[in-house]
């Protein structure tokens, strides 16, 4: 499949290109991505990750392995959560993914903590990484500010090692993610390369980042300088995929905009209004150039946006409610956890032999 034709950007740091071109090992294509169980995903997760994933799932050839992990271990990297909350967040995220079109028959959808091999590989990768490099990553720098010096959880620093282990445990070759994950993906490529070089092996592929060109970064409704996110910005800064029609209308009408008259698309001078147009374009799949907005006031834009989002999310909300009532999610997690473990067990045996544990 020609992914570029489908609007995807494939990236891989050029520093690894020599090692890749001289590699003699063929690694079968395996798609892997992860999402934190923050409960219900927001439109940033939806357009940056979930929707592209379902598109890929429905287009790549049937033999290609596709794996999607609900990364519950990452969810405690900022500190512990109440156990019931974490359990319920994982359940809700899994149900949301299926409601959005992830097909558990086609995608091996599993819970990270069901596969203990990942944590073991993360430890191994830690021996190849320096704390100073991890501490320079922008996401670490930003999040550590929430803590007093000396109180920063270790998990926040080692977060990218666990992310790299997620991907490498399954020898995944391709990682579809939003733009905000690029730094972690670079680090992951570096670790795969360092491992292969240190142990004189080609056991790991150097994974490629796959990002859909359009809507790779959805911005906050309250502060368009920032990305839409669960961990900051407050409830009104994001729309979650099970939000009611009333809540969608309220969040859209209260979204940041300006009083500069009729709607124009001008990212430099009218970022907030342009952000809403970008979101409208993401929801309706109409390029900005085809949206007839020249006669719209900012309120018209907000109302049209709310209407379009509600239309898009209605069937998802309904499917989510159905799944919540059935026992299907627990069954899928149980079966798929076992299937993921089988693959991980085989790969970790090989890795442990290379390292000298076996
Ligand atoms: P997470 O849980 O923050 O986000 C999940 C996916 O959603 C994308 N995303 C966005 N895309 C566009 N605009 C936004 N505002 C936005 N917010 C989130 C993210 O890019 C991501 O694709 N570290 C990862 C989880 C992870 C992972 C992995 C990903 C753990 N292990 C292995 C890939 C492979 C994270 O925190 O994503």
Give the strand order in the sheet containing 8-11: 8-11, 208-212, 174-176, 30-35, 65-70, 108-111
Tokens matching residue 25: 């090992």
- Listed as own residue / partner, the contacts of 267-272 with beta carbons closer than 8 Å and 24 or more positions apart are 271/224, 271/225, 272/224
> What average pLDDT does the segment 182-207 reach?
97
Q: Percentage of residues in the chain with pLDDT exceeding 70? A: 97
CA 358 to chain CA centroid, nearest Å: 34
Residue 176 is encoded by which pair of tokens? 């579809």
Residue whose Cα lies nearest atom 31 of ligand 1: it is 163
pLDDT tens digits, one per residue of 164-187: 999 999 999 999 999 999 999 999
Atom of ligand 1 nearest to the CA of 32: 34
Residue 262 annotated as catalytic: no
Q: Are 64 and 50 in contact (CB under 8 A)?
A: no
CA 31 to chain centre: 13
Res 20: pLDDT: 64
- The pLDDT of residue 66 is 98
For ligand 1, atom 11, name the residue with the nearest CA.
48
Bridge partners for 67 per DSSP:
32, 108
**In this predicted model, what pLDDT tens digit does every residue of 12-34 receive, in sequence order?**
776 676 666 677 789 999 999 99
Q: Tell me the pLDDT tens digit for each residue of 51-62.
A: 999 999 999 999
What is the CB < 6 Å shell around ligand 1? 32-36, 44-45, 48-49, 71, 74, 163, 166-167, 175, 177-178, 180-181, 184, 216-218, 227-229
For 72-110, write each residue's pLDDT tens digit. Answer: 999 999 999 999 999 999 999 999 999 999 999 999 999
pLDDT digit string (tens) for 259-292?
898 999 999 999 999 999 999 999 999 999 999 9
Q: How many angstroms does the Cα of residue 169 sit away from the middle of ligand 1? A: 18
Tell me the CA–centroid distance for residue 44 and ligand 1, in Å. Answer: 9
143-153: average pLDDT: 93
pLDDT of residue 149: 87
Average pLDDT over residues 152-169: 98
CA dihedral 172, 86, 104, 174 (to 10 degrees): -20
Answer whether residue 325 shows pLDDT above 80: yes
Q: What is the pLDDT of residue 14?
A: 66
Query: Architecture of 3-217+328-355 per CATH?
Result: 3-Layer(aba) Sandwich (3.40)
Could you tell me the residue ranges of all domains in the chain?
A: 3-217+328-355, 235-324
The whole-chain average pLDDT of the chain stands at: 95
For the entire predicted model, the pTM comes to: 0.95
Give the pLDDT band of residue 233 (cuts 50, 70, 90): confident
- Atom of ligand 1 lying closest to residue 177 CA: 22
Active site residue 148: no
Q: Domain spanning 235-324 has what CATH number?
A: 1.10.240.10
Per-residue pLDDT at 25: 86
Which residue blocks in the chain are alpha helix, DSSP H?
A: 17-22, 43-45, 51-59, 83-99, 117-126, 131-135, 138-144, 154-169, 182-198, 245-253, 271-284, 298-325, 328-355
In the beta sheet, which residues pair with residue 68? Answer: 33, 109
**C-alpha 290 – ligand 1 centre gap (Å):** 29
- Please count the CA atoms within 13 angstroms of the CA of 258 that sit on its side-chain side: 17
User: Which position has the token pair 């999040």?
Assistant: 143
Q: Find the mean pLDDT for residues 210-221.
A: 90
User: Which pLDDT score is estimated for 215?
Assistant: 80
Q: Which of 171, 208, 227, 312 is catalytic?
A: 227
Alpha-carbon distance 249 to 221, whole Å? 12
Question: Is the confidence at residue 314, as pLDDT, over 90?
Answer: yes
The two beta strands, 208-212 and 8-11, are antiparallel
Is residue 62 part of the annotated active site? The answer reads no
């Amino acid at each position: 499949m020609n992914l570029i034709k489908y609007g995807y950007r494939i990236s891989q740091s050029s520093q690894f290109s020599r090692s890749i071109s001289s590699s003699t090992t063929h690694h079968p294509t395996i798609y892997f991505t992860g999402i934190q169980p923050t409960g219900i995903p927001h439109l940033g997760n939806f357009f940056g990750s979930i929707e592209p994933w379902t598109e890929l799932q429905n287009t790549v050839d049937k033999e290609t392995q596709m794996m999607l992990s609900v990364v519950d271990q990452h969810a405690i990297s900022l500190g512990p959560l109440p156990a019931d909350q974490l359990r319920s967040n994982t359940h809700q995220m899994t149900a949301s993914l299926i409601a959005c079109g992830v097909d558990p028959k086609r995608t091996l959808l599993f819970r990270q903590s069901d596969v203990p091999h990942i944590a073991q590989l993360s430890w191994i990768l830690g021996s190849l990484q320096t704390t100073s490099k991890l501490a320079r990553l922008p996401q670490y720098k930003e999040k550590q500010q929430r803590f007093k010096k000396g109180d920063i959880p270790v998990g926040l620093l080692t977060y990218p090692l666990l992310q790299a282990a997620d991907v490498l445990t399954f020898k995944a070759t391709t990682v579809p993610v939003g733009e905000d994950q690029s730094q972690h993906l670079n680090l992951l490529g570096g670790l795969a390369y360092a491992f292969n070089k240190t142990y004189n092996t080609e056991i790991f592929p150097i994974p490629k980042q796959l990002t859909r060109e359009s809507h790779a970064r959805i911005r906050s409704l309250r502060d368009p300088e920032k990305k839409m996110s669960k961990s900051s910005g407050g409830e009104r800064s994001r729309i979650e995929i099970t939000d009611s029609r009333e809540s969608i209308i309220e969040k859209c009408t209260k979204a940041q905009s300006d009083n500069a008259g009729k709607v124009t698309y001008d990212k430099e001078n009218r970022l907030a209004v342009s952000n809403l147009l970008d979101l409208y374009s993401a929801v309706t799949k109409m390029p900005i150039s085809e949206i007839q907005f020249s006669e719209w006031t900012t309120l018209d834009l907000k109302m049209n946006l709310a209407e379009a989002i509600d239309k898009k999310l209605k069937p998802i909300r309904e499917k989510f409610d159905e799944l919540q009532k059935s026992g299907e999610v627990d069954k899928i997690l149980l079966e798929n956890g076992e299937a993921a473990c089988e693959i991980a067990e085989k790969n970790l045996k090989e890795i442990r032999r290379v390292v000298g544990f076996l």
